[in-house]
Structure 1
């Protein structure tokens, strides 16, 4: 059983993860429209990952004997100025999600919910990886000023990314 404050916060996080998924799907659509299938693939994989994060939280709430409450997902952006703009927005968004996860941990500590605190450690570690991955891509994009032949090289590299559901434990 989860305390009400913890349950409400996790339900909000489920919504935030779903928003993240659709934000990245929107970015994937933008890249497809610009003829950059590799970058579109990278964002589509992000979309899939965020859905698994939402599902991991959803299943945790159920496992704890509670009812997840799904909420409407607010409209996400559909247009950006360019590739660097998208990855700057992605980094900013991931930093925001990190703050949300940290807040969940703070609530778990406050309400002395050790099980949830342990569960959330996976998300803390995941956010470190998310921010590092986006920062690396953004740094590469800035090196080539977001244009030229370097974009095509990065686009080809991005095509190789595949989805792995890392929320599943053995």
Structure 2
């Protein structure tokens, strides 16, 4: 049986993951509205992955006989100053999620909850990848310094990203 503090913390994390999905869906819509279909695709894949992350936590709580509580999802921003700004905000958000995951790990260690600790290792590795991907795109966007040709090339590259279900 899972400790009530861990149950509550994971329920909060489900909300964090669903907000992440909502944020990336909003970014996808914004990129689509400015004609960057590849960027929109990249964010749509991100939206789907974040939904998968929420469901991993949801399924874990259910497997532990814990209560799943869904909370209201706050409204995300609707526009950004530039593609670079959107990805800088994406990285900042992923760093926040990394902090949340690390806090869950700390709680699992404190409670000596080895099952949850083990489950969280997947998320630790995922966050390393998430931040690395964001930094790579930010570096490319900075390299091209707003060049329309450069944006076009990155847009084509990001259009190639495919969704692979994680659960």
Q: TM-score range by the shorter chain?
A: over 0.9
- Residue 141 of structure 2 is matched in structure 1 by 141
Instruction: Give matches, 1:69-80, under 5 Å.
Output: 69-80=69-80
Return the TM-score normalized by structure 2.
0.98
- Render the CA deviation track for 1:95-138: whole Å, top value 9, x for unaligned: 00000000000000011100000000000000000000010000
Matches of 1:50 and 1:62, distance apart in 2 = 19
Matches of 1:109 and 1:74, distance apart in 2 = 30
Matches of 2:22 and 2:103, distance apart in 1 = 22
- Residue 51 of structure 2 is matched in structure 1 by 51
- Residue 103 of structure 1 is matched in structure 2 by 103
1:21 equivalent to 2:52? Answer no
Matches of 1:59 and 1:83, distance apart in 2 = 34
Matches of 2:40 and 2:79, distance apart in 1 = 14
- Render the CA deviation track for 1:3-42: whole Å, top value 9, x for unaligned: 0110000000000000000000000000000000000000
Return the TM-score normalized by structure 1.
0.97
- Residue 60 of structure 1 is matched in structure 2 by 60
**Larger mean Cα displacement after TM superposition, 41-50 or 140-149:** 140-149
Once superposed, which parts of structure 1, at least 4 consecutive aligned residues long, lie more than 3 Å away? none
Matches of 1:78 and 1:2, distance apart in 2 = 38
* Structure 1 unaligned regions, length at least 5: none
Aligned residues: 167
- Residue 6 of structure 1 is matched in structure 2 by 6
